[in-house]
Chains A and B, each alone.
Chain A
Amino acid sequence: MRRVQGGKRGQMALLEVSNLRTWFHTREGVVRAVDGVSFALEAGEMLGVVGESGSGKSVTFYSLLGLVPVPPGRIESGRALFEGCDLLQISSQGMRNVRGRRIAMVFQDPMTALNPYMTVAAQVAEPLTVHEGLSHAEARVRVLEALRAVGIQDAERRMDLYPHAFSGGMRQRVMIAMALTTNPALLVADEPTTALDVTVQSQILDLIAGLQRNRGMAVVLITHDLGVVARACDRVAVMYAGRIVESARTEALFDRPRHPYTEALMDSLPSTAPAGAPLRAIPGMPPDLLGERSGCPFAPRCTHAVDRCRTAECALVETEPGHATACIRAQAGEW
Chain B
Amino acid sequence: MDGPLLETKDLCVWFPVRRGRGLGAKKAMVRAVDGVSLQVAAGETLGLVGESGCGKSTFARTLVLLEKPVSGEVLFEGRSLRGLGARELRRVRPRLQMIFQDPYASLNPRMTVADALAEPMIVHGTVPRAEVPAAVARLMERVGLARRTMRKYPHEFSGGQRQRIAIARALATEPRLIVADEPVSALDVSVQAQIINLLRELQAEMGLTMVFISHDLSVVRHLSRRIAVMYLGRIVEEGPAEAVFAEPRHPYAHALLSAAMTPDPRRERTRPRIPLPGEPPSPIDPPSGCRFHPRCPMAGPECALRGPEAESCGPDHRAWCMRLSAGKADDASVSF
Q: List A residues at the B interface (Cβ < 8 Å).
A: 52-53, 153, 167-170, 197-203, 206, 224-231, 250-251, 254, 264-266, 268-273, 275, 278-283, 285-286
Assess whether B191 is in contact with A285, with CB atoms less than 8 Å apart.
Answer: yes
Partner of A198, one of B193, B194, B256, B279: B256
Assess whether B219 is in contact with A285, with CB atoms less than 8 Å apart.
Answer: no
- List 16 A-B pairs, Cβ < 8 Å: A53-B188, A153-B278, A197-B51, A198-B51, A198-B256, A199-B256, A202-B273, A203-B275, A226-B189, A229-B263, A270-B221, A271-B262, A278-B197, A281-B190, A282-B193, A286-B188
* 4 extra interface residue pairs, beta carbon distance < 8 Å, beyond A225-B261, A230-B262: A198-B51, A281-B197, A282-B194, A283-B194
B: contact size bracket: 35 or more
Name the CB-closest residue of B to A268: B193
If A197-B51, A198-B259 touch, whether A281 touches B276 (CB-CB below 8 Å) is no
* Shortest Cβ gap from A107 to chain B (Å): 18
Name the CB-closest residue of A to B195: A281
If A167-B279, A268-B189, A269-B189 touch, whether A201 touches B263 (CB-CB below 8 Å) is no
Assess whether A227 is in contact with B263, with CB atoms less than 8 Å apart.
Answer: yes
Assess whether B264 is in contact with A230, with CB atoms less than 8 Å apart.
Answer: yes
Assess whether B263 is in contact with A266, with CB atoms less than 8 Å apart.
Answer: yes
CA distance A228 to B262 in the complex (A): 8
Q: Is B269 an interface residue (CB 8 A)?
A: yes
* Shortest Cβ gap from A147 to chain B (Å): 16
Mask, B253-282, CB within 8 Å of A = 1, is 001100111111111110001011011000
Q: Is B95 an interface residue (CB 8 A)?
A: no
If A230-B268, A281-B193 touch, whether A272 touches B263 (CB-CB below 8 Å) is yes
Assess whether A250 is in contact with B265, with CB atoms less than 8 Å apart.
Answer: yes
Mostly helix, strand, loop or mixed at chain B's interface? helix
B residues less than 8 Å from A264 (CB atoms): 190
Partner of A270, one of B201, B219, B265, B278: B219
Partner of A265, one of B189, B197, B267: B189
CA distance A206 to B259 in the complex (A): 11
**Cβ-closest 3 pairs across A and B:** A227-B261, A281-B193, A270-B222
Assess whether A199 is in contact with B259, with CB atoms less than 8 Å apart.
Answer: yes
Name the CB-closest residue of B to A168: B52
CA distance A170 to B189 in the complex (A): 27
CA distance A216 to B202 in the complex (A): 51
Assess whether B259 is in contact with A230, with CB atoms less than 8 Å apart.
Answer: no
CA distance A225 to B219 in the complex (A): 13
Mask, B214-225, CB within 8 Å of A = 1, is 011111011100
Partner of B196, one of A167, A250, A270, A286: A270
CA distance A144 to B186 in the complex (A): 37
Mask, B269-306, CB within 8 Å of A = 1, is 10001011011000000000000000000000000000
B residues less than 8 Å from A266 (CB atoms): 263
A residues less than 8 Å from B242 (CB atoms): 275
B residues less than 8 Å from A169 (CB atoms): 279
Assess whether B189 is in contact with A224, with CB atoms less than 8 Å apart.
Answer: yes
Name the CB-closest residue of B to A252: B265
Partner of B266, one of A197, A251, A278: A251
Partner of A286, one of B190, B217, B266: B190
CA distance A3 to B193 in the complex (A): 41
A residues less than 8 Å from B219 (CB atoms): 270
Q: Is B192 an interface residue (CB 8 A)?
A: yes
B residues less than 8 Å from A225 (CB atoms): 261
Partner of B222, one of A170, A279, A282: A279
